[in-house]
Amino acid sequence: MRHTRYRIMRAYAIILVAAGIATARLPLVLAAAVPLVFVLYGALSGSPTVEGTVRVDREITPETPLPGQPVEVTLTVTNTGETAIPDLRFVDGVPEELGVTEGSPRAGGAVSGGGELSTTYTLTADRGSYAFDDVAVSARNLNGTRVVGAKIDAAGDTDFECRVAVEDIPVQQTTAYTGQLPTNTGGPGIEFYATREHRPEDPVKRIDWRQYAKTGELATIEFREQHAAHVVVLTDSRPSTHEAADPTAPTGATLSAYAATIALEVLIDEGHRVSLGALGIADPQTDTGPPAWVSSEEGQSFTSHATAVCNAAASTTTTDDGGAPDTESTEGSPTDPHGEASSSAAMADGGREWQRVRSLVPAGAQVMLCTPATDEPIVDLVESLRGDGHAVTVLSPQTTPETVGGRTVALQRAGRLDRLRFLGATVVDWDRTEKLPVALARVLDAGVR
């Protein structure tokens, strides 16, 4: 598309000449020379070339971002011709669903022949697939009398996918585990425990050769046995968690589901027995629940089943009847100072979903709960699990907006996290500016004991 400036001057010149002839006034005819100068100047000026001489390259880092992770986009425009372009401007076709958090997708300036311009900006990834539109490019000649615009398809990265997935997890859940839990019994392991009298069936590699050299008697080294921990990873996908800090940010349910996904990979890789539960949704494969449940006994099918549940937890919003704990009517029940149903009222009957969670979590298992802690029932669940003797670790992503109302919600959430700590749970408050692997490392270090 080409725009030529000063075309309007032709009309002015014609009007002045016509008015001068009609009124027989020479000054009006002579005045027409002024707009004619602009018309001639524009007509004699050359037009810049865009199509065929401008190349656009786009680079996206990382190519497969995580939910909530910053995505850096670098757009480079190169003048492949030999003639300089005095004024080149361009705007990237950013997906409408995503917001620019840093930098700008537009830039401009003079570009010599063979030269280039570039701009870098940052997006915040949310779960889904996103495609970029063509880049809008415009060029002006030196005096700005001619403007040429075009839509150019960028080379390089044109789209990216941000998803929650469990891929290639080395699941061998029919074999024995050597996990991270030390015991007070001796056996095979890596940490010295004690020595005992040698037996004929003992392996040669566990003979204490130093003692044999000193006393001439054989003895066997016992190491501290390592048993696998059974960890239940719970992700919160109840309706109240499907809120985000802003329209372009991931929801609490998406962030919780992603954290649960990575936790599964790490825990299984370390040799722990792992089960997965998703609060607030039914199982996408069996339509049972809520909660959706993937048992550690599923063996090789665990990977695909966990993938389906995590994806459903990240994107599915259920009704209050299906997603929230089932309780008796709470009309007239006492409320806390924030207007929410009190803990005792919300859980007066135990809640059928919470009862099912408690029945599914194996005795002695540790619980890792990924939740934005948006309401009181989640505190009741942790209290119940702690009462059942389970060690509970909570990873809580922050999803409150930076508004006056958001600050009030943030204060309520902070109070819930404090109550979870008072109940004996280990709580990691995951700030949006902190990378998930860092927050998750703190959870795993503190939670698996």
* Domain CATH number, residue 286: 3.40.50
Same domain, 77 and 154: yes
Same domain, 120 and 208: no
Dihedral, CA atoms, 13, 14, 19, 22, nearest 10 degrees? 140
Note down the domain range covering 81: 54-162
Residue 170: inside a domain, yes or no?
no
**12 three-class SS:** helix
In Å, what is the CA distance from 344 to each residue of 116, 290, 327, 347, 379?
A: 66, 22, 11, 5, 11
The per-residue pLDDT for 1 is 46
Band of residue 121 on the pLDDT scale cut at 50, 70, 90:
very high
Residue 345 has pLDDT above 60, yes or no: no
Residue 336: inside a domain, yes or no?
no
In Å, what is the CA distance from 40 to each residue of 27, 46, 265, 279?
A: 20, 12, 71, 73
The per-residue pLDDT for 57 is 92
Same domain, 350 and 416: yes
Provide mean pLDDT across the span 221-245. Answer: 77
The per-residue pLDDT for 436 is 62
pLDDT in tens, 320-330: 443 333 333 33
Residue 304: inside a domain, yes or no?
yes
> Best-predicted range by mean pLDDT among 305-319, 332-346, 367-381?
367-381
pLDDT in tens, 40-81: 666 655 567 777 788 899 999 888 777 777 889 999 999 888
Q: How many Å from the N-terminal Cα to the C-terminal Cα in the chain?
A: 66
Instruction: Say which range, 150-154, 163-167, 370-374, 423-427, has the weakest mean pLDDT.
Output: 163-167
The per-residue pLDDT for 183 is 44
The per-residue pLDDT for 73 is 92
Residue appearing with tokens 């002695």: 364
Residue 250, both tokens = 């991931």
Number of domains making up the chain: 4
Same domain, 198 and 63: no
The per-residue pLDDT for 431 is 75
Instruction: Say which range, 62-71, 181-190, 200-209, 390-399, has the weakest mean pLDDT.
Output: 181-190
Same domain, 277 and 381: yes
> Best-predicted range by mean pLDDT among 44-48, 110-114, 124-128, 204-208?
110-114
Same domain, 132 and 187: no
The per-residue pLDDT for 207 is 76
Residue 201: inside a domain, yes or no?
yes
Residue 143 has pLDDT above 70, yes or no: no
Tell me the longest C-alpha to C-alpha distance in the chain.
134
Same domain, 436 and 388: yes
Residue 172: inside a domain, yes or no?
no
Band of residue 349 on the pLDDT scale cut at 50, 70, 90:
very low
The per-residue pLDDT for 242 is 85
Same domain, 39 and 59: no
Residue 200: inside a domain, yes or no?
yes
Between 376 and 430, name the one with better pLDDT. 376
Between 429 and 42, name the one with better pLDDT. 429
Residue 185 has pLDDT above 90, yes or no: no
Between 274 and 435, name the one with better pLDDT. 274
The CA distance from 392 to 370, in Å, is 11
The per-residue pLDDT for 325 is 39
Provide mean pLDDT across the span 128-147. Answer: 81
Residue 334: inside a domain, yes or no?
no
Q: Torsion-angle region of residue 325: left (phi > 0), alpha (psi -120 to 50) or beta? A: beta
Mean residue pLDDT across the chain: 75
Provide mean pLDDT across the span 138-164. Answer: 79
Same domain, 306 and 246: yes
Instruction: Say which range, 283-292, 302-311, 333-342, has the weakest mean pLDDT.
Output: 333-342
Residue 272 has pLDDT above 60, yes or no: yes
The per-residue pLDDT for 75 is 92
Same domain, 245 and 312: yes
Band of residue 319 on the pLDDT scale cut at 50, 70, 90:
very low
Neighbours of 282 (CB within 10 A): 19
Same domain, 199 and 283: no
Instruction: Give CB contacts under 8 A, 24+ apart, made by 295-301.
Output: 295/360, 296/173, 296/230, 297/173, 298/173, 299/171, 299/173, 299/174, 300/171, 300/173
For residue 143, the domain's CATH number is: 2.60.40.10
CA angle 426, 427, 432 (to 5 degrees): 155
Residue 303 has pLDDT above 80, yes or no: no
Same domain, 234 and 223: no
